[in-house]
Structure 1
């Protein structure tokens, strides 16, 4: 590996870890998708107490779980494909040789880059499966949720918040898994040139930031949450 390769790999890791920590800290003081969705989940869990039959709520949770299961199974297929490429290093090297600006076409470098992809998708798989388990936990908590009759509003509110917290953790794990896919696409650029690897890593950070903190979807969700909070303020203690 050249100095440029080491630099590109360092920027890649720093971008991934740095943005993860940055988004966590900034979300505490700035409206973002994760923060607004947390409030929306609390409101959703409040609705659970409004009806005795909760089939619709369980169905919506199952729909979310199916999305995560799709990515978990897809990740296993991608991993199988990447591992297969270890037996086709010569063919990969020949393919890269046909690209004028591709660098580091040797077998060792190709194996190193494939190893990075394997690590990324293994991490994604663990995140997706953990998300699936936590959605199952929410289903169990929903089944054990008390009825509104004979229960204080404060107790209902506390239980709704706890269900929302578990659902939040499932959503975060799903988000981290998807983020692994984003950075895996950036890692693919390393096969062509380290400078392209650096550019794509920074581009992924910009895309994630713009969608999390500056998207139109955020504005719509934030406006909806504010309206719902006002509607529920008289019925549920804050």
Structure 2
């Protein structure tokens, strides 16, 4: 690895960790889309207490769970693709070296980069798989919450709070897995050179930051 490669990879790691810190820590004041939706999850479970029939709530939770399952399956396919790409290293290197980019990676560099990309999708799979399980636990908590006749009791309020917290934690893991997908797109730039990695990572951070803190969707749901 060249010095520029090391700088580009360090920038990639810092950008990912820094953005995660920004969303998870700084965004706790309710300014980010994730935190605003967490408040709506709390409100959802509070409203659930007024309904004796929880079919709608179970269906909403199932929809969230199905989306998580889709991304988990996609992660496994991406991992398989990465492993397949490792078996076609020579051909891939030839194609990249033939491109007019002035960048000629070695076989070892290519294999390291593919291994890194595969590990990103492995991380994403673990996040999505755990989120899927937590949404399953949330469905159990919804079913365990007392019905509408007891919605005013302290027990019902506590159970609704637990269901909301479980749903929020599941969403947090889902968001981290999806964030890994976004940064994997930025990581692809490294296959075409360290400068491209720096630019592609910056582009990913710009896009997801705008969606999290400056988007029309945030304006639509902000209290």
**TM-score, scaled relative to structure 2:** 0.95
Between the aligned partners of 1:110 and 1:48, the Cα distance in structure 2 is 52
Between the aligned partners of 1:118 and 1:219, the Cα distance in structure 2 is 36
Note the residue ranges of structure 1 that are not aligned, 5 or more in a row.
Answer: 227-238
Between the aligned partners of 2:131 and 2:148, the Cα distance in structure 1 is 29
Q: Contact between 2:50 and 2:151, CA under 8 Å: does it hold in 1? A: no
Partner in structure 1 of residue 54 of structure 2: 54
Between the aligned partners of 2:101 and 2:145, the Cα distance in structure 1 is 60
Moved over 3 A (4+): 150-158
RMSD: 1.4
Q: How far does residue 155 in structure 1 lie from its aligned partner after superposition?
A: 4.2
- Once the two structures are superposed, the pairs formed by residues 71-220 of structure 1 within 5 Å of their partners are 71-150=71-150, 152-220=152-220
Q: How far does residue 81 in structure 1 lie from its aligned partner after superposition?
A: 0.9
**TM-score, scaled relative to structure 1:** 0.89
Q: How far does residue 30 in structure 1 lie from its aligned partner after superposition?
A: 4.3
Q: How far does residue 159 in structure 1 lie from its aligned partner after superposition?
A: 2.7
Greater shift, 194-203 or 95-104, is seen at: 95-104
Against the structure 1 CA distance between its residues 107 and 11, is the aligned structure 2 distance closer, same or farther, given a 3 Å change threshold?
same
The number of residue pairs the alignment matches comes to 223
Q: What are the superposed Cα offsets for residues 92-131 of structure 1, whole Å, 9 maximum, x if unpaired?
A: 0111122111524211000010011011000000000011
Note the residue ranges of structure 2 that are not aligned, 5 or more in a row.
Answer: none
Q: Contact between 2:150 and 2:156, CA under 8 Å: does it hold in 1? A: no
Q: What are the superposed Cα offsets for residues 12-56 of structure 1, whole Å, 9 maximum, x if unpaired?
A: 001001111122222122421111111111111112222222111
Q: Contact between 2:128 and 2:173, CA under 8 Å: does it hold in 1? A: yes
Between the aligned partners of 2:220 and 2:153, the Cα distance in structure 1 is 29
Between the aligned partners of 1:103 and 1:158, the Cα distance in structure 2 is 59
Q: What are the superposed Cα offsets for residues 162-202 of structure 1, whole Å, 9 maximum, x if unpaired?
A: 21111111111111111111111111110111011011112
Q: Contact between 1:71 and 1:128, CA under 8 Å: does it hold in 2? A: yes
Between the aligned partners of 1:147 and 1:157, the Cα distance in structure 2 is 11
Partner in structure 2 of residue 232 of structure 1: none
Greater shift, 15-24 or 29-38, is seen at: 29-38
Between the aligned partners of 1:67 and 1:101, the Cα distance in structure 2 is 38
Q: Contact between 1:96 and 1:102, CA under 8 Å: does it hold in 2? A: no
Between the aligned partners of 1:104 and 1:128, the Cα distance in structure 2 is 35
Between the aligned partners of 1:102 and 1:76, the Cα distance in structure 2 is 33
